[in-house]
Amino acid sequence: MKASQADQRILLDVADIDRRLKHAEHQRANPAHASRIAELASQRATQTQELMQRIGVRDDLKTEIGRIESDVATARARRERDTDRLAGASAKEAVALENEIASLAKRLSDLEDAELEAMEKLEAAEAGVAEQEALIAETNAEGSRLTAEAKAQVADATTAAEQLRRDREAVTGTVPEALLAQYERLARTGNGAGLLRARMCEACRMELSGSDLAEVAAAAADEVVFCPQCGAILVRTDESGL
């Protein structure tokens, strides 16, 4: 294939644009912190499950305290009623009322002890809920920050990719159709073109052997030659060391 050196050099610009376009597409598809964001989502799910369990314990204690308070109110009402009845009761009735009042006093003491214990447990449960909520808030804050950074990167990469596509269209419009088609075929599976600089192909960073270099040097200036290592179009300039 024949192509002027000027046209061949344009392929280096196309290759550079393609390299940057590939990088931009990679950034758009794989934003920074993606793995950490996924990890935080999983972490938050686990933390939320733990929070629900702690809330369940707290709510059960509130229910228990409510039941105890109701029992206390009932026992106090009965004690007051029996105390009022005691003043006008017969001797036999008085004995029964006094026994019941004593029993209610013991009942109230037990209920008050149980209420105090439940309230201490509730205080610890409330602290546990608050601690877990704070932990989730930290996870959410980190997730929001990293997600915002990732979205910004995707937006920047998208903008860059769109501009690079416009640049590529403008540059490739000056390349002969056959030469561009050859470059495109090579670029689909590997390196499309690379500068031969100081005996090295910059597409694959491999140095040409003496015989390969001699073959390239013997080719006409407008002959399209290829890297014997990666197959890319070798673009020759004064820097090639030929």
Are 20 and 46 in the same domain? Answer: no
Q: Answer yes or no: are the C-beta atoms of 164 and 203 closer than 8 Å.
A: no
Centroid of chain to Cα 121? 37
Q: What pLDDT is attached to residue 218?
A: 92
49: which strand partners? none
| Position 170 pLDDT exceeds 80 | yes
Contacts for 231 with CB less than 8 Å, ≥ 6 apart: 186, 190, 191
Are 48 and 22 in the same domain? Answer: no
Q: What is the DSSP string of 162-207?
A: HHHHHHHHHHHTTS-HHHHHHHHHHHHHS--EEEEETTEETTTTEE
Q: Does residue 68 lie within any of the structural domains?
A: yes
Are 127 and 186 in the same domain? Answer: no
Between the CA atoms of 234, 235, 236 and 241, what dihedral angle is there, to the nearest 10 degrees? -60
Q: Cα(218)–Cα(83) distance, rounded to whole angstroms?
A: 123
Contacts for 228 with CB less than 8 Å, ≥ 6 apart: 208, 209, 212
Are 54 and 132 in the same domain? Answer: yes
Are 58 and 143 in the same domain? Answer: yes
Q: Does residue 55 lie within any of the structural domains?
A: yes
Total domains, the chain? 2
CATH code (residue 104): 1.10.287.1700
The mean pLDDT value of the chain amounts to 94
Q: Which domain holds residue 126?
A: 30-152
Name the pLDDT band for 149 (thresholds 50, 70, 90): very high
Q: Answer yes or no: are the C-beta atoms of 109 and 31 closer than 8 Å.
A: no
Q: What is the pLDDT of residues 27-84, one digit of tens each?
A: 999 998 999 999 999 999 999 999 999 999 999 999 999 999 999 999 999 999 988 8
Are 109 and 180 in the same domain? Answer: no
Q: Cα(101)–Cα(81) distance, rounded to whole angstroms?
A: 10
Q: Cα(119)–Cα(39) distance, rounded to whole angstroms?
A: 37
For residue 2, give the DSSP letter: B
Are 103 and 77 in the same domain? Answer: yes
Are 142 and 199 in the same domain? Answer: no
Q: What pLDDT is attached to residue 235?
A: 96
Q: What is the pLDDT of residues 192-229, one digit of tens each?
A: 999 999 889 999 999 999 999 999 999 999 999 999 99
Are 102 and 142 in the same domain? Answer: yes
| Position 187 pLDDT exceeds 90 | yes
Q: Does residue 158 lie within any of the structural domains?
A: no
| Position 134 pLDDT exceeds 80 | yes
Are 226 and 199 in the same domain? Answer: yes
Taking phi first (over 0 means left), then psi (-120 to 50 degrees means alpha), and beta for anything else, what does residue 241 get?
A: left
| Position 239 pLDDT exceeds 90 | no
Q: What pLDDT is attached to residue 240?
A: 85
Are 137 and 232 in the same domain? Answer: no
Q: Does residue 37 lie within any of the structural domains?
A: yes
Are 42 and 134 in the same domain? Answer: yes
